[in-house]
Chain A
Amino acid sequence: MKLSNTNTQRYLLRIADAALILSQRNSEWCGHGPILEEDLAQANMALDLLGQARALLTHAGAADGLDEDQLAMLRLEHQFLNPVLFELPHAVDGRRPGDFAFTVVRNFLTAAWFNLLWTKLQGSSDTELAAIAEKSLKEARYHLQHSADWCVRLGDGTADSQARMQAALERAWPYLGELFEGDEVDAAAEAQKLGPSWASLQAEWRALVEPVLAQATLKLPKDRPNAHRGRHGAHSEHLGHLLSDLQYLQRAYPGGTW
């Protein structure tokens, strides 16, 4: 698939793909949740993310005459621009449904990030993006509340749950740098008032997550320089497997509809 790959398109696709890929990941809990109510909650929130991704993909593809389905179902792995954190499987060994502690930790860390991003994007010079942000922020606020609640319950829970949460936090932490790295795409977005440079979100993000992690009695892992380049299309080995699930139907039955 040919994409114009403008800075604006890439800025939009990075956010759209973050939402799309996390939605696909979290939907893996459907039918496997630790309790019925949480099973529904994960599916509900995955659908919220899918809705956000659909709106952004539609917007990002318009310039190239591509619709949301073409972008989601027919792009190749290296054309996805989500940070690597969003594509990681729930369990270290990739077994499904996976490690609920990691699900909670990642949902919490990324919901805080989405909250800041959507808040800033409400003031975008792109009115459609601003409208998407306004709608998405309400959903992200709930996602943050829900995941923060689990973080505290499990972190400040039993010795076993705390150890699992701490391990999940250690696993997620090295991937966070990618969420706060600025590059030419961010610089262009900032200059056009399309949206914030991701680098500018870090201080507020820390102020948002650190009190919750402290309340959850979890220790902050050591920061490391970012080594991940999902935003540039260089992904972990996990994205291809995820896409083979996501894209299977359109690949097997091109143009198939309900």
Chain B
Amino acid sequence: MSTNEWPLWEVFVRAKSGLDHKHCGSLHAPDSAMAVQMAREVYTRRQEGVSIWVVKSEHIVASDPGEKGQLFDPADDKVYRHPTFYKLPASVDHM
């Protein structure tokens, strides 16, 4: 395999019964059309999907793993944000 400097693309596939596209991996491709074509070859060859999205990895803005503590830990002790302290009518008891 040759090395290349093609940009990286993230691939999202929607399964036949699924409503949402799920991230399933990434690949290198020279442009969007070929990225879709390659995604078809690599990620849907075993009937995994009926629809493909690709997006350049560089266009995904991610949270900084280093800020994980300050971003997400504060939610740990805010149990009152879950609506678990209400008494629900029996008919919606399994919410």
Contacts and interface: CB of A to CB of B under 8 A. Distances in A.
Given A149-B33, A149-B34, A35 B4 contact: yes
> A-side binding surface: helix, strand, loop or mixed?
helix
Contacts of A34: 1-2
Interface in B28-46: 28-30, 33-34, 37-38, 41-42, 45
Contact of B42 (A37, A146, A149): A37
B32 to A, nearest CB: 12
B20 to A, nearest CB: 24
B41 A37 contact: yes
Contacts, number: 34
Interface in A12-71: 33-41, 44
Nearest to B39: A37
Contacts of A38: 38, 41
B55 interface: no
Interface residues of B, number: 14
Interface residues of A, number: 14
B15 interface: no
A44 B45 contact: yes
Contact of B27 (A37, A39, A44): A37
A113 to B, nearest CB: 21
B1 A36 contact: yes
A35 B28 contact: yes
A138 B42 CA distance: 18
A161 to B, nearest CB: 12
Contacts of A153: 30, 34
A94 to B, nearest CB: 22
Contacts of A44: 41, 45
A240 B38 CA distance: 34
6 contacts: A35-B2, A35-B28, A37-B38, A37-B42, A41-B37, A149-B37
